[in-house]
Amino acid sequence: MSLNTLHVNVTPAYPIHIGPGLLRDESLLAPHLTGQVCAIVSNTTVAPLYLDTLRSTLEKLEKRVLPIVIPDGESFKTRSTFDHIHDVLLEARADRKTTLIALGGGVVGDLTGYAAATYLRGISLIQVPTTLLSQVDSSVGGKTGINHPLGKNMIGAFHQPQVVLIDTDTLSTLPSREYLAGLAEVIKYGLIRDIPFLEWIETHLEELLQRHPDELSHAILTSCRNKAEIVAVDPLEKSGVRALLNLGHTFGHAIETGMGYGVWLHGEAVAAGTILAAELSHRLGYLSNHDVDRIVTLFQRCSLPTRAPDLGLERWLSLMMGDKKNESGKLRLVLFEHMGQAKLTELSSQASLSRVLSPQTGRFIDA
């Protein structure tokens, strides 16, 4: 498996490097380090595994490394943890040429990105994602932020990285549950815009489940290519094109918030949410029942949830109305136009949605 490189064509453009052993390759980092200090933000799970390796690579470039280790888990994606990163930077007198490096999964990436966007009104950021979900989704595109008790990712900023360094070797230590959750975001790209990729996933899923290097590299590369193309068209989520990446996320974020951050992994909630989006699309006449069954079967093969918790209809609707895609008090969801094509849809009536979310009438809600 060799090095693959994509470019995200925003202003300024930046590369995504994908391959094994990249944490040890100083040539991929050197062009993106402007100052002498590099602050590495990681968590208590990832830091013991990979922090020393990345530190050694940076020290070969004669950089001073400032480690910032935070607790692991979605429940720590908070203002308090965000402030802690700033505290360490301020105490170390980090300047505008300091580079912040996110070494970890989506929580680390989002927190570090938001800290980089706001420290001294913006410093350089490098994303080094170590989970499948962060490698194929959250590390690319510049979305950063923290959670609020009333909603997931409701506070943040757009701040593009200088480079995304995806070392596929880090997936060898990823727990099975987190790996499977990452597959939900891989599948998403096939569902929203890339039917040939969806068919490839269905054919090669057993190899992906066993983490075969060639198939895994292809899945990451294709996912990142799809994400990069969408981000280039709509970098700040203004036109609605980028919102298509949120298939299943309105339902999924409601699950994560309603159940308590960290109870469901993000990818697990997205899987259940995607199935709810598919079922609603079916009820509105966009998908066939066969299409819904095909989506359910694929998530079942990944051992991902296919039924959502019963939050209660009033709670469901309250949480979903807080979604960032909504405008003028109207609920907007990413639904299917047809298999392999998603669209942002403003619901004129909540009747079909209510039936999907009720345990009495919705076949994908736990009674």
Active site annotation includes 253 = yes
Catalytic residue selected from 43, 147, 226, 246: 246
Active site annotation includes 237 = yes
Active site annotation includes 185 = yes
Catalytic residue selected from 63, 188, 227, 332: 227
Active site annotation includes 246 = yes
Catalytic residue selected from 74, 237, 268, 279: 237
Instruction: State the Rg of the chain over Cα.
Output: 20
Catalytic residue selected from 121, 238, 289, 327: 121
Catalytic residue selected from 74, 178, 185, 268: 185
Catalytic residue selected from 63, 188, 193, 253: 253
Active site annotation includes 79 = no
Catalytic residue selected from 143, 218, 324, 332: 143
Catalytic residue selected from 63, 77, 266, 282: 266
Catalytic residue selected from 55, 84, 249, 332: 249
Active site annotation includes 218 = no
Angstrom CA distances, 307 to 81, 106, 114, 269, 280, stand at 32, 24, 33, 10, 14
Residues with a catalytic annotation lie at 121, 143, 185, 227, 237, 242, 246, 249, 253, 266
